Amino acid sequence: MTGRSGGGRGGGRGDRKGRPLPKNIIPTGVLPKDDMVKFRGDSGLDDGNKSLVGGYYDSGNNIKFSFPMAYTITLLSWSVIEYHPKYEEIGELDHVKSIIKWGSDYLLKLFIHANQTSPSSTTLISQVGGVSNNKTSTDNDVNCWQRPEDMRYERPVSSCDETASDLAGEIIAALSAASLVFNEDKKYSTNLTKTATDLFDMVTKEDPGFVQGMYTTKDECGGQAREFYNSTGYKDELVWGGTWLFFATGNATYLRYATENLVSAEEEESSVDKGVFYWNNKFTANTVLLTRLRFFIDLGYPYEESFILSNNNVDSLMCSYLSHTTHKTQGGLIFLKPDQYAPLEYAATASFLSKLYSDYLAVLHKSSSSCTNGTSFSVENLQDFSMSQVNYILGDNPMEMSYVVGYGNNYPKHVHHRGASIPWDNQWHSCAEGSTWLNSENPNPNELLGAMVRGPDWNDMFLDQRDKPWFTEPTISSNAGLVAALIALHDPPHSSSSMNGAEALGIDNSGIFHNIHFI
């Protein structure tokens, strides 16, 4: 990485060259033989009567939530599409692609087409695991502090129909973005785009009486996810899905959908989510993608109005990151949702977007851009802000605490994570034993290397306690943001030192446009 090494005031296991990828994005199912996490084994082998094996557990629990998992795959894919030269330089390209493929393989299983025996039934799987209706046992994914390898309780499956617009939109985005990552594998890439296209057609149909909506508004669909990943809108996901599907196919129909619905997506955006890119809000990131189109492929009519709107939104976003009036802790961490915990997730994506946008400007040889109040910001301002947030995460903060496990000398030792907190001792541990490990004051016996926890509070304070997940729990969605930020900030490949433009920055300026041929 450019800039200081982070990690508090010294080195540590995380200071080795390269390795921007957390090792805590751990697959479920039959694990690959070369899996790097030595304290995990095969698990979830009966999920969905064996039809839903695979994917990723969400965080410190053993539940598979489709909504944030799809977002995770979209974001990781985006980082590869933009910065694959950097991934390749540090020897991590195959690794990150294997992570994405494990996720996209699972996402393909979640969309079940209507068929002749059930012509009116299209199914989207929203969750595997949780609380079952089994009255004879209280053991479940919520109550049991148990390794996933030790699960012996019933794991229910929650499903939706095609009115789960937000869930569908994010799956469409994930499959579309992944198709660009695997464009050299024509068969697999085509399968991803075909599934995304079929699903898009299904959830955007204009049939009389068809009603779009949020997956968590229906108990059978997202009732259990509501407490963890409650969705507050769906238009941003449909626009997000349409935008990525345009990149994946080059079909202008999807771009027209995205641009024609952009304003309605902005109007639906809740006030507390303004300027925040995370699993529940894609509007901000979508404006970055549309601005990218405006900068590098000027499509003109009928898209220009939406592109200008997007460009203005992105400039305003960057100005807000740099503004003295934006909530920041005394230690310098941007606090985009000051009434909530888990600030690092939002800081990581802000770091990614700001560095990415600075690279767009640099490729165009634009040294600065303007804010609505008459001030301006430079490419260097954005880069400094992006680096400051990552450095805070890695240890440059008042507690001198690295919030990434294994990085630096001082990092969380009591991560809220079932698998990390229970010894890998070839013994089966029951649900009843779980409280012993959850409430133990001893450090986790297994280090979840690379895992970013939720982080400190508004006062830069952090409690390294396993039973306080609002401080110590990692999630796949937040760690995807960290990966994106780290690779964006990583030094360009050494071979690019004598090059100009995008190559010198380590960004692939044209790959995202690979399938756009109608210009």
Is 473 a known active-site residue?
A: yes
CB 475 within 8 A of CB 56: no
Q: What is the mean pLDDT of residues 132-156?
A: 90
Q: 344-362 pLDDT, tens per residue?
A: 999 999 999 999 999 999 9
Cα gap 318→468, rounded to integer Å: 33
CB 87 within 8 A of CB 71: no
User: Which residue in 154, 185, 198, 464 is the catalytic one?
Assistant: 464
User: Which residue in 84, 414, 416, 429 is the catalytic one?
Assistant: 416
pLDDT at 8 over 50: no
CB 256 within 8 A of CB 192: no
Sole residue written with tokens 């290397």: 449
Cα gap 203→210, rounded to integer Å: 9
pLDDT at 394 over 50: yes
User: Which residue in 139, 170, 273, 473 is the catalytic one?
Assistant: 473
266 token code pair: 């902005």
CB 224 within 8 A of CB 489: no
More confident residue, 503 or 62: 62
Cα gap 405→412, rounded to integer Å: 6
Is 416 a known active-site residue?
A: yes
CA separation, residue 427 to residues 149, 225, 430, 448 (Å) = 10, 31, 10, 20
Query: What pLDDT shows up at residue 324?
Result: 85
Cα gap 118→194, rounded to integer Å: 21
Cα gap 294→492, rounded to integer Å: 25
Cα gap 488→82, rounded to integer Å: 9
Q: 100-132 pLDDT, tens per residue?
A: 999 999 999 999 987 644 555 789 999 999 988
Query: What pLDDT shows up at residue 500?
Result: 67
User: Which residues are 29's β-sheet partners?
Assistant: 43
The beta strand positions in 372-454, using DSSP E, are: 376-378
Write phi, then psi, for 43 (nearest 5 degrees): -160, 165
Percentage of residues in the chain having pLDDT higher than 90: 81
**What domains lie within the chain, and their CATH numbers?**
13-512 (1.50.10.10)
User: Which residues are 217's β-sheet partners?
Assistant: none
387 token code pair: 């680096």
Q: What is the mean pLDDT of residues 240-268?
A: 97
**Cα Rg for the chain, rounded, in angstroms?**
22
